[in-house]
Amino acid sequence: MENDPLAFLKEKQRLDGVLLNNLKLHAVALRETLQRANEYRAYEDGMYRFYYGSWKVFRLQAKTAEMTTALAAISPDGRAFCAPFQDIMRAGMDKKFTPETNGNWVAETLPIVTAYLHARYFLEMCVEYASLEAPPQPMPSGWAALTCLFNFR
């Protein structure tokens, strides 16, 4: 298929359709997950905790996990996340606070914030594009990013 541009285009169109259908099927759950990710104790307080140097920034990991679960649920054909997203999630999840964390604060906690923000971005794009009637052409950046997330751009 890589050498056949027409087959590639047809598969891309099929996957666009599956993605949009999945967004529509999960629209309510996606919106609710985004609302929880944007709650005061998550977004506003989580960012503050990073800058203040509080161990409570580690709480963002739970919201990130919830968002990645919601994103995985809409993956066309169960496709894996792209490598950059997987790398960001791996770096920012399953981290534990230790007394040594304070001495290397930014290096230890920035991956947590980064993972949260990337998951939140993709969730926002899902909510934004769930109301479309058809896959957008030309593709806006947010839709294109979703196709990158699921490895079909």
Mean pLDDT by 10 residues, the chain (153 residues): 82 96 98 96 96 97 98 97 98 96 97 98 98 95 97 91
Structural domain total, the chain:
1
For residue 84, what are the domain limits? Answer: 5-149
| Cβ-Cβ contacts under 8 Å for 89 (sequence gap 6 or more) | 64, 68, 81, 115, 118, 119
pLDDT of residue 1: 55
